[in-house]
Amino acid sequence: MSHAVSSPDGRIEVTILLAGGVPYYSVDRLGREVIGKSRLGFVLRDGRVFNRGLEIGDVTRSSYDSTWVQPWGEVREIRDHHNELRLEFVESAPGLCRMTVVFRVFNDGLGFRYEIPGQPGLEQLVIMDERTEFVLGETDNAWWIPAFMGNRYEYLYQKSPIRDLEAIHTPLTIETADGLFLSIHEAALTDYASMALRRTKDNTLECDLVPWADGTKVKASTPLVTPWRTIQIADEPGELVTSYLVLNLNEPCRLEDTSWITPGKYVGIWWGMHIGKYTWGSGRNHGATTENAKKYIDFAAKYGFVGVLIEGWNTGWDGNWIQNGEIFNFTTPHRDFDIEEVTRYAAERGVGIIGHHENGAAIYNYERQMEPAFYYYKRLGIDMIKTGYVGTRVNKTEWHHGQYMVEHYRSVVEAAARHRIMLDVHEPIKDTGIRRTYPNMLTREGARGMEYDAWSGDGGNPPEHTTILPFTRMLSGPFDFTPGIFDLFFNQYRPNNRSNTTLARQLAHYVVIYSPLQMAADLPENYDGQPAFQFIVDVPADWEDTRVLHAKIGDYVTIARKDRNSEDWYIGSVTDENGRTLKTSLDFLDPGREYVAEIYADAADADWESDPLAIDIYEREVDYTTNLEINLGPGGGQAIRIRPVNE
């Protein structure tokens, strides 16, 4: 017996069937198989299973079409248009257990989740395994990072045939043999373990829930609603970037007033620590001193940055903080940091301070102090906090991605919302679209950011890194990548490291890598007197619209975004280690309107290895009929601001 549900445009069809009491689903697009017959269900600790001996119970259908507005984001409006099918599965014997699987099919993919209602004898349950499968094509390839590793999500993406994969994180991006592009991920990860994927046979991936230290996967009570398992489907990789399916599967905003949530750009006492100019801990080179903070505040005020991040301001950094996170104190500043004076000085100049809570993954210590620490910051006028969870296991026992931490990260978002605090989370749980429900969850790390260029023993992020991120990590949500390094060699501090880009490419990252909070990461002295800095001053962090103009995963990407608060458009384009010219139509501009393009381009001889600083900055008139040739040097990029003439 089978049931089917299609996308509103009829192109995607999901079929759910029961074979010998076992539930399966499959997905076709335009009659071609995208996901083969894949199993559904669970194994519980008490021996009960929700994956065989089942019959189909109630079946209900509905359709939905409405448009909602993001308080901030990569586009203003998002249309949620889907068909829903709810299928109840009932155990034929002996316990008559019931569960419902809900499918929502959109024009750009689908999501499904399990609902286990309250029922006699099943008030509490422990999930030992979720049996959700994704059967892919025999010759499909994937861009992936490994799961169950010490550095969380911070690995370079690799491309391999599905049959060579082991355990990997989502979002997982797949190029099918048919030339389609898929992203497998999850939405609304709440009170549950996060989903890694493990290849079980041939080209079959199975949900591999991140376990608790005791080996169980999810401890829950009924009614239980799991996160959505999502499959986005696109003809072109750029369509994955502009698919908002994961957000559509999250609950609407729970905050009545979001006017206090403000995207923007920031600077910080930060890069100096990563290259070794400053220390987080106390001593001669301590970065977070009152005097230094004032210098950064002056710089932020001069150029209109909304915030100054100050790391290493509190006690707990001295010694091996990664091992000793339990001594971090979140209300005691170092002696050379007068926090009252710094916050007063900043407020006087209209600059916000971005607080910092690195907890070294010592969660007991952090949770004990969190409320007083939020009060402390709020009293000082600090309403944005960067958190950090460095370490391979939290409390030295649990994964960063298991249910324990899913619940912790959420409790921080909720507590922050109560205090009207915005968050930037480093070493986070992966993004599953929670920002829709809690827009104070502004941005996060969860991938290899710019800091790897400062100290990584493998030479930092290779040029192709940011040509892959938009189609992989970025599909989950905003990334605090921290672009904007102008002194690409920092020889004075770290002669064996460098940033593997051209200068123009550093600018392009502000458009290519979306974040509502963007850092100008370099030392202020490296920006002074640099004409290229004007682009960082101008570029917004909140967008009306987003278009992907070129996309070849691992080779190049060009993205255009329209400012939310003006008629300006911005373009960012980056390439891998190969230089190239990309022909670019500006047909997204308003017809009949004249514009000026302010272009920050790799100079003719620019090359990330031999001549990375060679940049040409110039203006030209453009309109919607213009075809630009974007020239990118090896490892290079181009950034463009397009503004209407005389407006």
| Alpha carbon of residue 136 to chain centroid | 25
Can you spell out the DSSP letters for 88-111? EEEE-SSS--EEEEEEEEETTEEE
Residues that bind ligand NOJ (CB under 6 A): 270, 311, 358, 388, 390, 426, 445, 451
Would you say 426 or 550 has its CB closer to ligand NOJ?
Answer: 426
Under a CB-based contact definition with an 8 Å cutoff, are residues 362 and 349 in contact? no
Would you say 140 or 445 has its CB closer to ligand NOJ?
Answer: 445
Q: In the bound complex, what is the minimum distance in angstroms from residue 273's beta carbon to ligand NOJ?
A: 6
Q: Does residue 183 sit in helix, strand or coil?
A: strand
Report the C-alpha dihedral over residues 596, 598, 603, 609, rounded to 10 degrees: -150
Q: In the bound complex, what is the minimum distance in angstroms from residue 151's beta carbon to ligand NOJ?
A: 11
Q: In the bound complex, what is the minimum distance in angstroms from residue 388's beta carbon to ligand NOJ?
A: 4
Q: In the bound complex, what is the minimum distance in angstroms from residue 261's beta carbon to ligand NOJ?
A: 21
Would you say 317 or 399 has its CB closer to ligand NOJ?
Answer: 317
> What length does the chain have?
647
How many angstroms separate the CA atoms of 625 and 627, rounded? 7
Would you say 356 or 408 has its CB closer to ligand NOJ?
Answer: 356
Q: Residue holding tokens 């205090």?
A: 419
Would you say 175 or 480 has its CB closer to ligand NOJ?
Answer: 480
Would you say 270 or 404 has its CB closer to ligand NOJ?
Answer: 270
Q: In the bound complex, what is the minimum distance in angstroms from residue 536's beta carbon to ligand NOJ?
A: 19
Residue 481 DSSP symbol: -
The tokens for 420 are 């009207």
Nearest to 573 by CA among 565, 583, 588, 563: 583
Question: Is 621 among the residues known to form the active site?
Answer: no
Q: Does residue 31 sit in helix, strand or coil?
A: coil
Q: How far is CA 163 from CA 33, 133, 137, 182, in A?
A: 18, 14, 10, 16
Q: In the bound complex, what is the minimum distance in angstroms from residue 150's beta carbon to ligand NOJ?
A: 14
Nearest to 501 by CA among 548, 455, 465: 465
Q: In the bound complex, what is the minimum distance in angstroms from residue 604's beta carbon to ligand NOJ?
A: 35
The tokens for 177 are 């043999």
How many angstroms separate the CA atoms of 350 and 347, rounded? 5
Q: Residue 319 region, left (φ>0) first, then alpha (ψ -120 to 50), else beta?
A: left
How many angstroms separate the CA atoms of 436 and 274, rounded? 32
Long-range contacts of 26-29 (CB under 8 A, 24+ apart): 26/135, 27/110, 27/231, 27/233, 29/180, 29/233
The one catalytic residue in 311, 445, 451, 598 is 451
Instruction: Report the run of H or E that residue 159 belongs to, with start and end.
Output: strand 158-161
How do strand 422-425 and strand 384-388 relate by DSSP bridges? Answer: parallel
Would you say 451 or 598 has its CB closer to ligand NOJ?
Answer: 451
Q: How far is CA 465 from CA 10, 432, 462, 497, 501, in A?
A: 36, 22, 6, 16, 10
Q: In the bound complex, what is the minimum distance in angstroms from residue 370's beta carbon to ligand NOJ?
A: 16
Q: In the bound complex, what is the minimum distance in angstroms from residue 74's beta carbon to ligand NOJ?
A: 22
What is the number of helices (H) and of strands (E) in the chain?
11, 36
Q: Does residue 272 sit in helix, strand or coil?
A: helix
Would you say 119 or 456 has its CB closer to ligand NOJ?
Answer: 456
Q: In the bound complex, what is the minimum distance in angstroms from residue 315's beta carbon to ligand NOJ?
A: 14
Can you spell out the DSSP letters for 314-338? BTT-SS-TTT-GGG--SS-B-TT--
Under a CB-based contact definition with an 8 Å cutoff, are residues 73 and 108 in contact? no
Residue 469 DSSP symbol: G
How many angstroms separate the CA atoms of 117 and 97, rounded? 9
How many angstroms separate the CA atoms of 244 and 20, rounded? 36
Q: 367 phi and psi, to 5 degrees?
A: -65, -35
Would you say 108 or 311 has its CB closer to ligand NOJ?
Answer: 311
Q: In the bound complex, what is the minimum distance in angstroms from residue 428's beta carbon to ligand NOJ?
A: 10
Under a CB-based contact definition with an 8 Å cutoff, are residues 466 and 577 in contact? no
Would you say 358 or 542 has its CB closer to ligand NOJ?
Answer: 358
Catalytic residue IDs: 451
